[in-house]
Amino acid sequence: MGKKFGDRKDGVRLKKISSMHAIMPLMYPNRCDNEAFISERIDLTNVNAYLEKKNAANPDYEYNLFQVLVTAVLKVITLRPKMNRFIANQTMYQRNEVTAAFTVKKVFSDNGAEALAQIHAKDSDTIDTIHDAIYQQVSFCRSEEKDPSTASMDVVQKLPVVLLKMAGAAARFLDRHGWMPKGVIATDPFYCSAVLSNLGSIKLRAGYHHLTNWGTCSLFCTIGEIKKRPFYDDEGKVEMRESVDLGLTIDERIADGYYYSRTVQLLRKLLENPELLEKPLSEKVDD
């Protein structure tokens, strides 16, 4: 199907939506004013057992929790397509592809530079192909080369102050209409389906992270530090288990609370049954 009037290069304009979802962007035009925050705690017992089994057969480049989480988020967005919507210029769009972005710290130090990474998912992807894609992205980001978006920002930064402000105003106009050059936003995390931030890797708790009016991203996921925490059974007995906290910030205009609830339930099921991630992203999961 070809591009129709009103579509963007990164999304198809949605016309057959409820009147409420059509009007909300007009009443509340800014993404940052429409954030819903959801906190989830995930028992890692099954994930740890799964990773131990996977790594026994693949010792060269180990599988880890972050790869599991990226794959789970990509599968959730693939199976729950409303999570891949975005609102730009007061109009709702369905994104053309499923993507995830994250920042890679080149060196863990106060002055260590950062690079931007992006995963472009296919329906046929599994945890194995996502594992390989993340490895390639991290290896590139920690090399001496710069990702396209960072290279573009380096050029813009050198402009005189007056031209820099003019460039900023022009960029916001192009961003609003979906006309930003592809090379400039090639690895911009805020032009993705979801941004993931592994705060646990720097010894921080998961928590709220704002969305941005820039770009098109409607979902942000923070990943906290792995720790042993108390879990209670139906009889009130407590057991300490390794777990991780997730913080999900969502643009509440793209769907309703019930849809978000079912989405989070699916995410939890995938993380409690990680072997499901060995199936293609587009393969449905039984309730």
Distance of alpha carbon 100 from the chain centroid: 4
Query: Domains in the chain: how many in total?
Result: 2
Residues 200 and 232 both lie in one domain = yes
In this structure, the answer to whether residues 170 and 201 fall within a common structural domain is no
Q: What pTM value is reported for the model?
A: 0.89
Whether residue 104 is found in the same domain as residue 195? yes
Cα 123 off chain centre by: 16
Q: What is the pLDDT of residues 84-104, one digit of tens each?
A: 999 999 999 999 999 999 988
Q: What pLDDT shows up at residue 58?
A: 75
Residue 248 and residue 167 in one domain: no
How far is it, in rounded angstroms, from Cα 10 to Cα 280?
A: 23
Which residue has better confidence, 165 or 85? 85
Q: Can you give the residue range of the structural domain that contains 198? A: 11-146+189-278
In tens, the pLDDT along 226-285 reads 999 999 988 899 999 999 999 999 999 999 999 999 999 999 999 999 999 999 999 999
Same domain, 118 and 159: no
Of 29-38, 59-68, 100-109, least confident by mean pLDDT is 100-109
What pLDDT is recorded for position 237?
93
Q: Is the separation of the CB atoms in 141 and 116 below 8 Å?
A: yes
Q: pLDDT grade, residue 168 (50/70/90)?
A: confident
